[in-house]
């Protein structure tokens, strides 16, 4: 955690390129020859609408399958390990928030909880963390169990070792000590990556939690991380605006909304990010295991101890021997809840009739293929156009270049674009050239001494540069439409940007016609215009 936020130097395009697993300086021809593969590592790779639909379908499917297979709709046991620094060392004073969260898990969820105070032992914090995490897994793991690890405190990202360090004080602010209270998360996490039979959910209210990388591969279980902030970003200290405060409030609201029925980790993320205090600092959900499915972990209160004792025999404990995966290609982009329930029931009955030894039937994914193809096209076009601009050489014309501001790449301090981040931080139409000023600047240049052919060529290329930047704005807006498919609060600024882009397009076309009339020997197409036209045509087709 930190009280100040560092400035991010990454551009919008680099964010898009990272999401698409494509180098920012990738060759255009190579891009056109090969498809772009979207990343499944970031929660921003799909829209809110799609995530909501996936969460809904999974919830209905899992409940229907569990009912048909006569399996409880919750975990057999859930245990929570809350990690914080001892009060004597904890600079952030996380104790009150931890106490409230601990009570919530115990009283309303009926989860077993344990609080680990780092630094209250004779052992070094690193050894204490490694030991207690391993012991907690050994005590509470099981094939039908869930282990939750929660950490609150300072965190920093070691770029040399690519690891997340946990510490009691913010050493970046000048605090020094010969033996700082510090522990690296990576050694302790190995036990969570490789050891448990059951599922794991890590919740980190610390800076740079999203920087952690993936580890081993597993399809038999899930390990997901809720990070308080996006990639390479800090988060707020304990208090009204903290992630833990929003987490507690959101858990209570979801318990009431779902009436103690299961809800997904995405539901929790969405609820937190819609809290007024957290809209500018969205949390992220990451899969910590390399998986081919898009399933979310589900949370729900456990029954009383007496009920749990009687239902233990209902859980299947046979190990997995094989996976049989089917995929349904739908002609409609949605499926009704009742259809999901009936399909789940019929499949379970078929397995029983045919004596297929199915331990469970999972919904692996639910995606709208059209939206994903559109996102790929926009990403492709953005990178192709920017690469063309980078490889072109623009001659400077003083009267135009000094009077017309270029479209600025708008950066965000909070990582990749997300529907939960205010749009003003992603796109700002104010730097776009005003059409009337653009026309006046060009007319002023015409009234002076007649420009030479070389100067006129430079003027045209400068204007083409502006038009391409304008097209980039439209493409960026299209990308945001896909990212925010079910959002409405960005509509006004999006409309304003589009109107300005249309005006500039008309003015530039008129000026290009004037330029061509003054120099009939010049070609009206810049060397990089074919690539631009191809990308823009691709965008217009849908």
What range does the domain containing 338 cover? 56-71+327-366
The CATH number that applies at residue 105 is: 3.40.50.1460
Same domain, 102 and 156: yes
Same domain, 233 and 164: yes
| Domain assignment of residue 4, yes or no | no
* Contacts (Cβ under 8 Å, ≥6 apart) of 272: 243, 246, 247, 250, 278, 283
Q: Considering its fold, how many domains does the chain have in total?
A: 3
Same domain, 186 and 154: yes
| Domain assignment of residue 124, yes or no | yes
| Domain assignment of residue 17, yes or no | no
Residue (of 243, 253, 259) closest to 150 by Cα position:
243
| Domain assignment of residue 235, yes or no | yes
Same domain, 504 and 379: yes
pLDDT in tens, 339-366: 999 999 999 999 999 999 888 888 888 8
- For residue 224, the cross-strand partners are 201, 287
* Contacts (Cβ under 8 Å, ≥6 apart) of 110: 301, 302, 303, 304, 305
Residue 100 CA: distances (Å) to CA of 88, 253, 258 = 20, 15, 21
pLDDT in tens, 100-128: 999 999 999 999 999 999 998 888 999 99
Same domain, 382 and 348: no
Among the candidates 366, 392, 414, a domain finishes at 366
Helix (H, G, I), strand (E, B) or coil at 196: coil
pTM of the model: 0.62
Same domain, 94 and 228: yes
Same domain, 242 and 348: no
| Domain assignment of residue 41, yes or no | no
Residue 236 half-sphere exposure toward CB, CA atoms < 13 A: 17
Token reading at 220: 């038999």
Same domain, 103 and 118: yes
Confirm if 375 and 42 have CB atoms less than 8 A apart: no
* C-alpha torsion 101→103→105→110, nearest 10: 180
Q: In 234-277, which residue ranges form alpha helices assigned H by DSSP?
A: 243-257, 265-273
| Domain assignment of residue 8, yes or no | no
Same domain, 402 and 531: yes
Backbone angles phi, psi at 203, to 5 degrees: -125, 115
Same domain, 426 and 465: yes
pLDDT tens, residue order, the chain (542 aa): 443 333 333 333 333 333 333 333 443 333 333 332 223 333 334 456 777 888 889 999 999 999 998 888 889 999 999 999 999 888 888 999 999 999 999 999 999 999 999 998 888 999 999 999 999 999 999 989 999 999 998 888 888 888 888 988 876 655 555 567 889 999 999 999 887 889 999 999 888 777 775 556 666 788 999 988 877 677 888 888 899 999 999 999 999 999 989 999 999 999 998 888 887 788 888 888 866 567 889 999 999 888 887 787 778 667 777 888 888 888 877 789 999 999 999 999 999 999 998 888 888 888 766 555 544 554 554 455 444 444 433 333 233 333 333 333 333 343 333 333 333 333 334 444 444 544 454 444 444 444 444 444 555 555 545 555 555 555 455 445 444 444 444 455 455 555 555 655 555 565 555 555 555 444 444 433 333 344 444 444 43
Same domain, 94 and 175: yes
Same domain, 378 and 332: no
| Domain assignment of residue 227, yes or no | yes
Query: How far apart (Å, rounded) are the C-alpha atoms in residues 175 and 307?
Result: 51
Residue (of 501, 512, 412) closest to 459 by Cα position:
512
| Domain assignment of residue 49, yes or no | no
Strands across the sheet containing 199-205: 112-118, 77-85, 145-152, 199-205, 223-227, 284-287
Residue (of 35, 12, 10, 48) closest to 486 by Cα position:
48
Residue 430 CA: distances (Å) to CA of 70, 100, 312, 342 = 60, 45, 62, 53
């Amino acid at each position: 955690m930190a009280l100040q936020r560092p400035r991010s130097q990454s551009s919008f395009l680099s964010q898009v390129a990272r999401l698409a697993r494509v180098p920012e300086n990738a060759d255009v021809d190579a891009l056109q020859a090969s498809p772009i593969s979207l990343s499944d590592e970031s929660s921003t790779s799909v829209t809110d609408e799609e995530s909501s639909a996936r969460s809904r379908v999974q919830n209905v499917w899992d409940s229907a399958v569990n009912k048909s297979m006569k399996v409880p709709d919750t975990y057999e046991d859930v245990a929570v390990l809350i990690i914080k620094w001892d009060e004597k060392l904890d600079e952030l004073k996380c104790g009150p928030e931890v106490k409230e969260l601990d009570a919530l898990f115990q009283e309303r969820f009926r989860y077993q909880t344990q609080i680990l105070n780092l630094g209250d032992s004779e052992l070094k914090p690193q050894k204490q963390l490694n030991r207690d995490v391993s012991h907690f897994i050994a005590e509470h793991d099981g094939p039908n169990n869930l282990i939750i690890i929660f950490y609150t405190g300072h965190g920093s990202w070691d770029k040399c070792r690519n690891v997340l360090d946990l510490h009691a004080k913010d050493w970046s602010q000048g605090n020094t000590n010969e033996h700082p209270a510090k522990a690296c998360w990576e050694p302790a996490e190995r036990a969570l990556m490789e050891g448990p039979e059951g599922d794991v959910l890590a919740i980190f209210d610390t800076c740079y939690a999203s920087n952690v990388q993936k580890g081993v591969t597993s399809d038999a279980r899930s390990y997901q991380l809720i990070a308080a902030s996006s990639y390479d970003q800090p988060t707020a200290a304990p208090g009204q605006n903290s992630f833990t405060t929003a987490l507690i409030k959101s858990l209570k609201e979801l318990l009431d909304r779902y009436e103690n029925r299961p809800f997904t980790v995405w539901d929790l993320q969405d609820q937190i990010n819609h809290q007024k205090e957290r809209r500018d600092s969205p949390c992220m959900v990451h899969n910590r295991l390399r998986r081919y499915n898009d399933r979310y972990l589900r949370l729900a209160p456990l029954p009383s101890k007496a009920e749990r004792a009687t239902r233990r025999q209902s859980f299947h404990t046979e190990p997995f021997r094989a996976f049989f995966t089917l995929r349904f290609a739908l002609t409609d982009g949605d499926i009704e809840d009742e259809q999901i329930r009936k399909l789940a029931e019929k499949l379970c009955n078929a397995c029983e009739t045919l004596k297929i030894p199915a331990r469970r039937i999972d919904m692996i994914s639910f995606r709208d293929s059209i939206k994903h193809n559109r996102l790929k096209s926009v990403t492709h076009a953005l990178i192709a156009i920017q690469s063309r601009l980078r490889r072109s050489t623009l001659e400077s014309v003083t009267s135009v270049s000094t009077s017309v501001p270029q479209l600025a790449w708008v950066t965000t301090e909070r990582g990749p674009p997300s529907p939960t981040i205010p749009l003003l931080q992603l796109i700002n139409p104010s730097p776009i050239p005003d059409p009337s000023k653009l026309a006046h600047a060009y007319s002023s240049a015409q009234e002076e001494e007649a420009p030479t052919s070389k100067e006129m060529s430079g003027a045209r290329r400068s204007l083409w540069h502006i038009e391409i930047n304008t097209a980039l704005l439209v493409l960026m807006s299209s990308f945001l439409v896909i990212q925010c498919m079910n959002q409405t609060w960005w509509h006004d600024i999006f409309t304003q940007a589009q109107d300005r882009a249309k005006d500039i397009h008309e003015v530039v076309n008129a000026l290009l016609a004037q330029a061509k009339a003054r120099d009939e020997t010049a070609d009206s197409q810049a060397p990089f215009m074919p690539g631009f036209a191809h990308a823009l045509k691709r965008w217009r087709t849908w």
